[in-house]
Structure 1
Amino acid sequence: MNLVEVLRNAFTFIYKKAQLWAVGGGITVVALGLGYKFLLRPNKLNRVGVVSQLLIHPLKSGRAVSVALAECQPIGLKYGELRDRHWLVITEDGHMVTGRQEPRLVLVSLTSEGGQMCLNGPDMEQLRFPVLQPDNPIINCRVFSSDIQGRDCGDEVSYWLTSYLAAGKTFRLVHFEPQMKPRRPAETESLYPQREKIAYPDCGPIMLLSEASVKDLNSRLENDVTVARFRPNIIVSSCEAFDEDSWEDIQIGDVQMHRVMACGRCIFTTVDPETGVISRKQPLETLKNYRLCDEAEKHIYKTSPLFGQMYTVSKTGILQVGDVVYKISH
């Protein structure tokens, strides 16, 4: 090999090394830029609405309790002794009873006062019973296709419910306690993360709906319905109809939530929350005219119209009526 070839090979080697260093340096710069973009740069908050109501439904299918503030926990809203959908009416064999089967349940209110629960209903005397009854038996229950436990609330409560519903069968009330094994929404709704836990809700811990969406629906109905018909936890004002469909991640106060799916609606929406009468028609029929899912999502929602959005809690904290709702842009 002559001197010229030696010098040519040496130059080629150095040139290739320089190319690799340049590429490596470029990759490093890009990686640092992406790291800043996705890890270091703070999320952008865009104001999208205001919390106008907070509703807790202690009794599944029972009347809502409106509160000015609530703890937002991974398993749902909490205010004092009241936890969202932590009490459940069951048959003697443990199967859940909701307003779908017994529409007059929507007129029953369950509140708390001085360490006692207060059960009220039309033409019934108020019944008080302890929040905690550790000596009462634990009953194995069935909520949709999932097994879950509940602490029996006693024979007096059972007699009250059985008398009120007057359906020719015996009903009992159970209470989900913190030490009990919760349900996993992922078992019935694949869009939920495996880690999520719930007590007696249909499928998720938090449901959000805007006032504007209800107003839009009412513009299509002969008789107006109220937000109570749809049993949300968080009601939002100061936004346009169905804006909530696009709020993937939101922040309210210190609380952060992630949207999992829309709320598919069923026959329960046809129960009037003021009379306890089921029509089996409106507003469900009207919702089906304009709120069905895209073809690609039929395997999730089937023929159920979509109204409201289901959220999981990413960061716990306190929610208050009047809080600004922010959409988080990553």
Structure 2
Amino acid sequence: MTAAPLLLTDLYIYPVKSLGGIRLTEAEVEPRGLRHDRRWLIVNDRNQFMTQRQTAAMAHLRVAPAYNGFLLSHQQRPELLPLFVPFVGTPEKTLFASIWDDMVFAWRARPECDEWLTEALGQPCKLVYMSDMVRRDVEPERNPEGQLVSFADGYPFLLIGRESLAELNGRLAQPVGMDRFRPNLVFSGGAAFAEDNWEQFQVGDLAFRAVRACGRCVFTTIDQHTARKSPDGEPLRTLATYRAQGSHVMFGQNVTGPGKGKLRVGASLTVNTRKG
């Protein structure tokens, strides 16, 4: 029996870190990842980055594509009219924002964006943009190519196979969606967790490198439709029974890319080299 070919089935960008994604049929590849992916960030009144890890209510905020930008809306508060945000910010006002161990020079959004988010999330916050002038590197010890990253946690791309999610869901009483794991690239074909041992691979004619597995956190326990945390810790609890490496639970691969090009859903994947 011939194995099913490896195919790119889904492309996602997340214009604002930790908010909802936009599914695309094609996407431009840039030095920091897919164009418009995680170039905006919400920070608190101390200019520290905010995510659903600490503020699960961020899952209530929906992101929809619009001309040259996107619309933010609150799924439970229709009185908050949708807010338009352009894909690219402007340098009228700036600040330094902290994300993990990095301090990043950022451009501030319009005041009405801060006001809308403050009302939507019930706490003071600001919206900031990463310009092309900013250099934020992938972790140096694993980054001989000098790859850059946006406001993503650490890498420009996250890759997950559909079979990996299907295998996990086969172990769960209540299946979860791929949105719990926030990939950029989703593929079909191959065995569950086949991506674990990939190293150099191609999507169409573009070359990528799977650097290391992605450690997962409490984010995966938040229902992206209700903003509620799973009371039984799923799916993280089940993942920990068979996907633990030391103190970390792994799902998906952190990936670096070619810096430019175009990806299209339906493109074939070819594995050129494997780890170890």
Fold match by TM threshold 0.5: yes
Counterpart-to-counterpart distance in 1, 2:85 and 2:14: 18
Which residue of 196, 203, 207 maps to 1:245?
196
Counterparts of 1:147 and 1:102 in 2: how far apart (Å)?
Answer: 21
Cα deviation 1:262-290 (Å, max 9, x = unaligned): 00111111111111112361111111100
Partner of 2:92: 136
Counterpart of 2:264?
320
Q: Is the 8 A contact 2:83 2:113 kept in 1?
A: yes
Residue 273 of structure 1 corresponds to 224
2-structure distance, mates of 1:119, 1:171: 15
Q: Which residue of 1 aligns with 2:250?
A: 306
Structure 1, 273-282 or 157-166: larger mean CA deviation: 273-282
CA distance in structure 1 between the aligned counterparts of 2:114 and 2:67, rounded to whole angstroms = 22
Cα drift, residue 185 of structure 1 = 2.2
Structure ID, larger Rg: 1
Given candidates 146, 154, 179, the residue that maps to 2:102 is 146
Pairwise CA RMSD of aligned residues? 2.0
Stretches of structure 1 that go unaligned for 5 or more consecutive residues are 1-45, 294-301
Give the equivalent residue in structure 1 for 2:209.
Answer: 258
- Give the Cα–Cα distance (whole angstroms) in 2 for the partners of residues 308 and 132 of structure 1: 29
Shift of 1:199: 1.7
Map 1:28-67 to 2 at 5 A: 49-67=6-24
Moved over 6 A (4+): none
Gaps of 5+ in 2: none
Distance 2:41 2:212 in 1: 24
Q: CA deviation at 1:246?
A: 1.5
Q: Higher helix fraction: Structure 1 or Structure 2?
A: 1
**Aligned residues with identical type, % of pairs:** 29
> Secondary structure at 1:307's aligned position in 2?
strand
The AA in structure 2 aligned to 1:164 is A
Give the deviation of 1:140 after TM superposition: 0.2
Q: How does 1:91-170 map to 2 (within 5 A)?
A: 91-122=44-75, 123=77, 124-132=80-88, 134=90, 136-166=92-122, 169-170=123-124
Q: Which residue of 2 aligns with 1:68?
A: 25
Counterpart in 1 of 2:150? 199
Contact 2:4 2:190 in 1 (8 A): no
In structure 2, what is the Cα distance between the partners aligned to 1:50 and 1:145?
36
State yes or no: 1:291 paired with 2:243: yes
Q: Any conservation in 2 of the 1:58–1:111 contact (CA below 8 Å)?
A: no
Which residue type is aligned with residue 148 of structure 1? V
Answer 1 or 2: higher relative contact order, Cα 8 Å, separation at least 6: 2
* TM-aligned CA deviation for residue 117 of structure 1: 3.8
TM-score normalised by the chain length of structure 1:
0.76
Deviation at 1:191, TM superposition (A): 2.3
The alpha carbon displacement at 1:134 in A equals 3.1
Structure 1 residue 131: deviation in Å? 4.5
Contact 2:13 2:21 survives alignment (8 Å): yes
Letter in 2 for 1:69: E
**8 Å Cα contact 1:48/1:326 also seen in 2:** no
> Does residue 1:89 correspond to 2:14, yes or no?
no
Give yes or no for the alignment of 1:178 onto 2:132. Answer: yes
| Structure 2 counterpart SS, 1:97 | coil
Given the superposition, is the C-alpha separation of residues 193 and 48 from structure 1 closer, same or farther in structure 2, using an over 3 Å criterion? farther
Contact 2:32 2:259 in 1 (8 A): no
